[in-house]
Amino acid sequence: MRFQMPRMTEPPKLLDRVRERIRFKHYSVRTEEVYVQWVKRFVLHHGKRHPAQMGAAEVEAFLTHLAVAGRVSAATQNQARSALLFLYKEVLGCALPWLDNVEQAKRPKRLPVVLTPDEARALMARLDGSHWLVAALLYGAGLRLMEALRLRVQDIDFKRREIVVRQGKGFKDRVTMLPEAALGRLADHLLAVRALHAQDLAEGFGEVYLPYALDRKYPGAGREWGWQYVFPSAKRSLDPRSGKMRRHHLDEQTIQRAVKRAVGEAGIVKPATPHTLRHSFATHLLQNGHDIRTVQELLGHEDVQTTMIYTHVLNRGGHGVASPLDDSR
């Protein structure tokens, strides 16, 4: 009998290790894609050297290059920094010292774009169907766009008029209101979604993605009605991680395009986006006399200083202060 040497399995490649660790930490597919791209750019920038052979100096050089030569925004540079810190801390097991020598991209101090109540109503009037419902939750409940799109049926409580936002920014849950003006349309929408889910089940599909590997702990839960997305995609698609054919939630670009079109049709000249509706939610609540701590809780801000930006929006234009031009008349 011929003796065969056992095959030596090759250690996983760097990017595969990054993906594996990201999935272990339950980060989103989008975060996985972004972090992998930044790791690639970092390695290419330093002549394809392995990150294990580099350290803080190379990370500082790369981030400084992004700010100085690349002229990237502060948000983009911070995204790259987060990806590389994740690489070294979570994948390579090497915590980098604080990167004090990085040339920081300047973060402009801008006030958020906010619609007037009339502008918000004009925008909403030019949306319909699921586009209107998603926008209604942004403007009427203060949700972020992806928070709205990732809602599950079980997150909507019609009796208590509440929405539970799962895994919001910072992986934190919170509760916000369910706008009364959206109740009827949302109930009708869910009837149509349930019929779509029943059709998927009849065709051998109907399983939705579950977070935190709950599909292994609770087999079959992904087919239950409560776990289905409130805003499912019109078509089924292949899950890039599991390889299963599933119905994901609506693509955010669908809502972004719909809002952009509605802004143009309404004749609004402000550079409004879906996130503008969330800004408008906070500002209009404060205008109506609601406590800033309440608004902070509804928005899911960790620090009230973040919510304070909307008080600056309220003060813009010198409300209560007479212009000297008016006094000179």
Establish whether 249 is a catalytic residue: no
**Of the listed 126, 248, 278, 284, which one is catalytic?**
278
Q: Residue 316 catalytic?
A: no
Q: Is 81 a catalytic residue?
A: no
Catalytic residue, from 17, 166, 189, 275: name it. Answer: 275
139 catalytic per annotation? no
Among this protein's residues, is 301 annotated catalytic? yes
Active-site residue, selected from the candidate residues 169, 185, 223, 244:
169
19, 131, 144, 284: which one is catalytic? Answer: 144
Among candidate residues 126, 152, 246, 301, the one labeled active-site is 301
SS (H, E, C) the chain: CCCCCCCCCCCCCHHHHHHHHHHHCCCCHHHHHHHHHHHHHHHHHCCCCCHHHCCHHHHHHHHHHHHHCCCCCHHHHHHHHHHHHHHHHHHCCCCCCCCCCCCCCCCCCCCCCCCCHHHHHHHHHCCCHHHHHHHHHHHHHCCCHHHHHCCEHHHEECCCCEEEECCCCCCCCEEEECCHHHHHHHHHHHHHHHHHHHHHHHCCCCCCCCHHHHHHHCCCHHHCHHHCECCECCCCEECCCCCCEECCECCHHHHHHHHHHHHHHCCCCCCCCHHHHHHHHHHHHHHCCCCHHHHHHHHCCCCHHHHCHHHHHHHCCCCCCCCHHHHCC
Catalytic residue among 88, 209, 229, 310: 310
* Active site (annotated) includes residue 310: yes
Q: Active-site positions?
A: 144, 169, 275, 278, 301, 310
